[in-house]
Amino acid sequence: MRWYRFSVSCLLIGISVAASFWFSPSGTGEYQTSPDGKFTAHASNMSRGTFIGRLQYIELRVVESVTQREVWRVEFRHEVVTVPDYGDRSKQSFVDWAQDSSSVTISVGGKRQVTIPMQ
């Protein structure tokens, strides 16, 4: 009876670990701090599991550098090949701050860009 309980416990722990790897978001990306140092913009390629497959999306965020408070965030779902690889360091930066830190522009694929005004 003890062996049975131990086996079932190990099986449940294994299933829990596998589920956490499948359903937890993971990804890679780029971040740039604003010229005045107040904000940090993040652009990330993300992936997470669902019950019917993997969901691919990009996550764009701006956080305050000191408090880490998120001031802006969006998730954009896409086909796998339609957005830049934010983790590719051999290319130019995808996150571009205005010189006066008044806005940040992030490339989201092709000629499309998102410009976020900062106050």
Residue 99 domain boundaries: 25-117
Q: Is residue 116 packed enough to be buried (19+ CB in 10 Å), middle (13-18) or exposed (0-12)? A: middle
Residue 3 domain-assigned? Answer: no
Least confident of 24-33, 78-87, 88-97, 101-110: 78-87
Residue 4 belongs to some domain of the structure: no
3-state secondary structure of 53: strand
Q: What amino acid is encoded at 97 in this protein?
A: W
Query: Is residue 103 in some structural domain?
Result: yes
Give me the number of domains the chain comprises: 1
The DSSP code for 24 is S
* Residue 109 pLDDT exceeds 90: no
User: Does residue 106 fall inside a structural domain?
Assistant: yes
18 has a pLDDT exceeding 80: no
What's the whole-model pTM score?
Answer: 0.73
Q: What's residue 69's pLDDT?
A: 94
> Is residue 61 situated within a structural domain?
yes
Asked whether residue 70 is domain-assigned, the answer is yes
